[in-house]
Structures are given as C-alpha cells and as structure tokens.
Structure 1
Amino acid sequence: MKKIIFFLIIFPIIINNNCLAKIKKIRIGYLEAGQFWAYDGIYNAFKQSLKEKGWGNKIEFPPNAHFSPGWEPEHVPEYEQRARELMERKDIDFVIAMGTAATQALLKVNNGKKPILAMGVADPLASGFIKSYHDSGIDNFTIRVVPNRWKIMFEIFYDVVHFKKLGIMYSDTKTGRVYANLKDAREVAKEKGFKLIEYNKLSTAEELCECDKGLDYLISKGIDAFFISSLVCFDWTKSDVQKLMNKLIKNKIPTFARDGSSYVQAGALMGFSSMDFSAMGDFLANMAIQIFKGKKPRDVNMIDRPSPKIAVNLETALKIGFDFPVTILIASDEIYDKIILPSNRKFK
C-alpha cells in the first residue's frame, strides 16, 4: 500500500517535469538589409523589454537565423533570398523585419502564415506596407506606426529656422525616397511656402563621395538648410561623416538630423531626440507578446503616439551664427553645449 501511495505522489511530478521539458521556445528570426546604429538600438530595447516582461526564458534568437547582408548593390538580391529562407524554415516561429528594405523583401515572399513584426521602418504607409494606420491589410503582418511623425519633423525644423531653400538628397528608388521622407517634405514645403531642393543621384550604396558631390550641388543651388535623412554616408560607423558635417558648418547651413541625438551631439544643429529606445522597445514587445499569446498580427494595434522630443547643439549654432529662440531651448529635451564626435566612429 505504501508503495502505491508513493507512486501516486511521485507520478504527477514526473509528468510535470516531462511536460516542462517539452515546452517549445518561440524561435525568432531576424532580417535587416545592413547594419545601422538605430536598428541595434531598437532591437536591443525590444529584447530587453521582452526579458523584463518575463519572456526571456520563453523565446530565443538563433544566431543562424539573424541576417544582415549589407547595403551595397551587390547584396540587394540576398534580401529576398534570406527573407524566403526565414519564411520557409520550420524551426523559426516568428520573424522580425528591421527597416524598410527588409520589410519589403519579407512581404514579397510572405507565405501568409508565419507572423512578421516590422520595426525601424521610415514610413509604413508611404512604403505601401499597410492598408491604413488602423489596418495592416495582411493577416500575419503588423508594424509600429507613428502617424505624421515625419511631417511634424519638417514643420518643427521650419518653424525654428524659417529657411527658404531646404536641401535633401536620396537614392531615386522607392526605398530611397521613403528613407528621405520625400512625400512629407514636399507636402510641408507646399504648405509652408519654402522651396525643396532635391539631389536624387545617389546609388543605393549612398557612398561618401556621392553624398559629398550631392552637397556641393545643393550648396551651389543656394540651400539655407539641410535635412540629414537615413543615409549610409551619414552613418558614423561606416563613413567619414565629419567631412560632410564640416562642409555644412563651413557654409553656415542649419541641419536637422532625422535619426536624432547622436547626430546632434556630433554636429547637427537639431534633430529628434533618440538616446532612449526603451519606450519604443516596450511598445514593440507588447505587440509581439500579444502575437505570442495567439492574437492575429493584423488585429494588434499598430499606432504609437510618442511625444516629439528635440535635441539641439549650441556649439553648432554658434559656429553657423544661428540663435535658438528661448522657447525652443526651454522645450528641448537634450541640449549639447559642444560638439562631441561618436566614440565608435570609423574614421578618427
């Protein structure tokens, strides 16, 4: 009798341990077109938030399912190849699309089944990735959306600087125009009455020599402000950005850095503050958790409404002879009193 009682007590424990051993972790694949500092910030904040929300032991990110082919033109065909691999692999349950090019590649080979969460995309609506701000239009796809973010950005820059000719450059491809937020720039130019001076002869590699030539062209056209969009030639970890910034400062041209704080600290006049990715990481983690729990990606709320935060650089302002309105200084979230180049820059 004692043996029977002992067996009945121990048997459930054995069953529970076996069940725990069979619990399958959610395996997450990742695709980006190439390395970019903001992608790292977003992705790390996303993973950290999942961990803080108790999902650290329930998910894993296999190194052999993390792809970053590169921005050079010869790597472009690999985007779709890697996207197809992630969608077809049986050992991957969930896919992260980081950036516009990666999202475009994954949606092109989408099987309609495996969940895709896109992040770090410049403009989901303009890219044609979603049906509307409230509906992705694709059952297994969702993405973080900040309505009118870039339009507000151009409006803030104009309201502070009151320029007459805003310079902008980009690769004349669908992705290149989206990275430059061209549609919003043109709309605000029309509404505010300034002229948008465009240089669209960059290749998809967006090399330093091309951007340097582009700046020369824009300066020759009399620009009195320049928009630093998401360009590889302005990525401090890959390019000699100081050469471009010095040219802009020498010509006393106010600049707005779309991708934020590190650019402002390194010499842009102003830009969106982006030192802290934690709030974005929390929003994205909450989206993913809903999907992990069984919610259809299309049914997950996509709209995030963070308050715009501004960073300014006082040394740059002094060098180009620009006086910030007191109201802007009071409202700024980050104020740098001197130019400090990134410690991780490629060229020193």
Structure 2
Amino acid sequence: MSLRPRTRSAFHRLAGFALAGLFAATVGAWTTGNAWAAETAPLAPVTVAHAETNPAHDLSMHGSDLHAQTDHEHEPFVVAYVEGGPFVDYQRVLAGVAKGLETMGWIEDGDVPMPEGTESAEPIWNWLSEHAGGRIVFAKDGFYSAGWDESNRDEMFAAIGKMKHVDAILAFGTWAGTEFSKLPDGKRTTPVVVASVTNALESGIVKSLERSGVPNLVASIEPDRYPRQLSIFQSVFWFRKLGIAYEDTPAGRGSIALKALENTAMSLGIELIRCTDRFDVADVNVAAARLKACHRQLVERGAQAVYLTANVGLTADTAADVLEPLIEAKLPTFSQVGSFDVENGALLSISEVNLADEGAFSAGQLVRILEGQSPEAINQRYEGAVSLAVNLETAKRIGWEPPLEILVAVDEFYPKREDGETDAADDVEAAEQTPGEDAEP
C-alpha cells in the first residue's frame, strides 16, 4: 500500500518560510550517530604510490613539530591523500576542497573536471597534481588507497612513511580517519585533515565536537546531518513506517549512523522496518541481489517509505534493478549518500552543493594548518546548507507531483535534458518571476 504525500494545502500552511527555515524548524536538536560512508564502498585493488624511500621517515616526517614545516615563502606546501577505498562522495568533496583552496587564493585552478565511469578520486588528484598551481602541491606520488582491503593497511602506511616530504595529509572517510587517530604518539607528527566522514566524534576519530583532542588531527563534523535528512523526508511524506536495509554488524551499523537514525525515528514517532543481510562483500552483484531482496521484504512488511543507506549493492549499474520493487510499490525513497543515487533513480536526497560546501570547509581547515595553527585547536563543527536533489522521472512513476514549495527547494533535478536543464527547472524559474496569489488558502 503506497503512502500519499502531503497535499498542497498543507504545504501552503507553511508558506512564508524560507527553504532552510521550513525544514530546519522540523529538525530539532539531535546528535548524529556513528560513521557510515566509506566502509560500504566496493572493493578495489590497492593503490600504492611509488615514493622515494627513506627508512628514517616512517610517518614522523617532521620530527616533533605538529605544524606544517615548509618555508612557504620559497617553496609550496606538499599534501598527500589517503582513503580506505573509492567512494563516489570522495570525488565531490575533494573537488570542493580544490574549489575552496582556489577561492582562498591558495591554488590557481580548482575547477576540477569530474571523472566519468568511476567512483575513484584518483583522477581528480592526478589532475590537481598537474594543474592546481599556486602554494600547494598535490604530490604526484601522494595518492594512497587501500581498496577496502584491510590486509593492505601495513603496505599502504609503510609507503606513506617513505615519502620524502609531506606537510599535511587529507584522510578521506572513516576508515582512513580511524587509522590515523589510532597511531601512537611517536608517529602523530604529520598534520591530518579528516574529511567526508559521517561523524568523527561518534566513530572515535576525535574526542569532542569543537576540538579534536588529537594533537595532529582535525575533522569536520556536521552533527545534525542524518537527523535532518530523516526529518526533511517526513516533512514531505507523512510516513509512520520507514524501511531500512543494512548489515547488522558493528561496522555495518556504524557505517550508516544507525544510532542517530534510531534516535531521530523515535523522536518523530517513526517505526523502523528493518532488513539485514551481509552487504560488505567484494562482488557488487551479490550485494545488489541481496539489497533487492531486502527491498521486496520491506514492501511486504508494510514499509511506507524507504531510507536508502550507503550500500555496496547500490551503484549506477545496479540501481534500476535494485530500486524496482520500491518504485513498483510506489514508495518514496531518500538516499543517505546524496545526489549520485538520485541521478540513478532514488527520489530525493541532499544535493551535490552540500558536498562541495563540506569540501570547502575542509579546505579552510587545511589552510589554517599551513598557516601554522595546531590541528587540535581548529574548529570542527560544520553546518551544511539545506538543498535537495529530486528525480522527476521517479516521482512520476510513483505518482507524486512535487508542489512548488518543494521544487524551489531543489538545486538538482534529474534526469537532465541534453541542455543540462529540466522542464521542472524552467517551471520553477517562471513561477519565481511571475507574481501571483496562492490558488489555495
């Protein structure tokens, strides 16, 4: 049984609020749960840079001083990148870092072309190493990925330690951030900026929201991100039973911020309908088949909407098949990951703008380190804007006509026309330029 969305009259009772105010009023003050994103990405071969060897370096490249060491009046700063494995959000956040550095005048060119046909951030890094210019060097031999294989950890960190000179490290995702936070004190001498992680506090990477409590490390934390997503979703569709699929292991629960989702659901009076299976597997097709089976179960068990968590089985190649049971049942979906899933068939999510802003925030932290501030003293609280992505084809298939109040809240519409726009985008622009009274009181 499908759930009917709010009527237009209900939305008009909210008229007069700006987008952020409309949704923020429903959020409340929640704290987010454990980290979610990185651990569920597909496995990939390890990428180990061929750095020049210096056995004395390990990870303590700069002695005991925790500030960047380059004489920046004469030489650019050198930055390296570390991730647990490829994940599509890392591309967008890294591109946001680059644009933020350009805006602040630290690199000359931050307009990174987004790679196609891959979730890897390595093409972006390679482009920056060739084209960024300015006061920061993105080391050509400084991109490290463990390919989501724990057995590659020691080899990867040994390679990092052999780099001749690094002023700071960008650690993307919970896996990489956790590894750096666990290093013994004697190896915590290179500054680390942890980016694109669900909640660095709940995952144990840092010790407090405002300050990291780790001498050489700083992270970005958006404490209300996932409670806000859930609240936005329910403010659009009055559901009481929300379906959710995940792997019921410590890593699986942490990787989707389950604790935060449970707390928020309880606050909103939402019953979580759960389906669990083993999704963190190397074979994407196996994960996709399991996820599709879960979606069928959620429909059969009476879910009125589904919150799509980060999952190995939900990719550009598998999304159409995996989401079909939900679309056939006319259930609205909201992706935890972002607009990448919306482009591939999910109904709603936050827009790519949010990820770019998150990257710009991390860029600001990096600049403060390179200017001489201690990582531990740098603010970590990030407050993202409220902006949405919507798939209009999916909306049509489930029988939902987004009201204008929702359309004006959207930064990204899918699918796009050949000119890169959508019919809905034209309608919104026309409505914004044409004054008139509401049709309903």
| 3-state SS in 1 of match to 2:334 | strand
Partners of 1:146 and 1:303 within 8 A in 2? yes
Residues 111-260 of structure 1 mapped to structure 2, 5 A cutoff: 111-205=187-281, 207-236=287-316, 239-260=317-338
Residues 10-159 of structure 1 mapped to structure 2, 5 A cutoff: 23-52=74-103, 53-55=105-107, 56-71=133-148, 75-79=149-153, 81-83=155-157, 85-86=159-160, 89-109=163-183, 111-159=187-235
Partners of 1:143 and 1:302 within 8 A in 2? yes
Q: Which has the higher contact order (CA 8 A, sep 6+)?
A: 2
Moved more, 139-148 or 245-254: 245-254
Q: Distance in 2 between matches of 1:194 and 1:147?
A: 20
Q: Distance in 2 between matches of 1:42 and 1:257?
A: 17
TM-score, L = length of structure 2: 0.66
Q: Distance in 2 between matches of 1:194 and 1:87?
A: 48
Q: Distance in 2 between matches of 1:328 and 1:285?
A: 31
Larger Rg: 1
Task: Select which of 324, 329, 332 maps to 2:402.
Answer: 324
| Greater fraction helix | 1
Partners of 1:168 and 1:197 within 8 A in 2? yes
CA shift for structure 1 position 177 = 1.9
Partners of 2:193 and 2:219 within 8 A in 1? yes
CA shift for structure 1 position 81 = 4.2
Q: Distance in 2 between matches of 1:276 and 1:196?
A: 26
Q: Distance in 1 between matches of 2:304 and 2:388?
A: 20
- Which amino acid in the other structure matches residue 223 of structure 1? A
Deviation per residue, 1:275-311 (Å, 9 max, x gap): 5744333222111011011100011111222221112
Structure 1 moving runs of 4+ over 6 Å: none
| 3-state SS in 2 of match to 1:65 | strand
Q: Distance in 2 between matches of 1:316 and 1:196?
A: 23
TM-score, L = length of structure 1: 0.82
CA shift for structure 1 position 132 = 2.0
For these two proteins, the number of residue pairs brought into alignment is 317
Unaligned runs of 5+ in 2: 1-70, 108-132, 418-441
- Return closer, same or farther for 1:329/1:21 CA change in 2, 3 Å cut-off: closer
- Which amino acid in the other structure matches residue 231 of structure 1? N
CA shift for structure 1 position 156 = 0.8
CA shift for structure 1 position 313 = 2.5
- Return closer, same or farther for 1:241/1:254 CA change in 2, 3 Å cut-off: same
- Which amino acid in the other structure matches residue 57 of structure 1? G
Query: Which residue of 2 is the match for residue 279 of structure 1?
Result: 357
Moved more, 320-329 or 165-174: 320-329
Query: Which residue of 2 is the match for residue 12 of structure 1?
Result: none
Unaligned runs of 5+ in 1: 1-19, 341-348
| 3-state SS in 1 of match to 2:201 | coil
Partners of 2:296 and 2:326 within 8 A in 1? no
Partners of 1:84 and 1:109 within 8 A in 2? no
CA shift for structure 1 position 80 = 5.2
Deviation per residue, 1:189-234 (Å, 9 max, x gap): 1111121122232242262223223223323322121112222222
Task: Select which of 386, 402, 425 maps to 1:308.
Answer: 386
Moved more, 156-165 or 310-319: 310-319
- Return closer, same or farther for 1:101/1:80 CA change in 2, 3 Å cut-off: farther
The percentage of counterpart residues that share the same residue type is 29
- Which amino acid in the other structure matches residue 326 of structure 2? L
- Which amino acid in the other structure matches residue 98 of structure 1? F
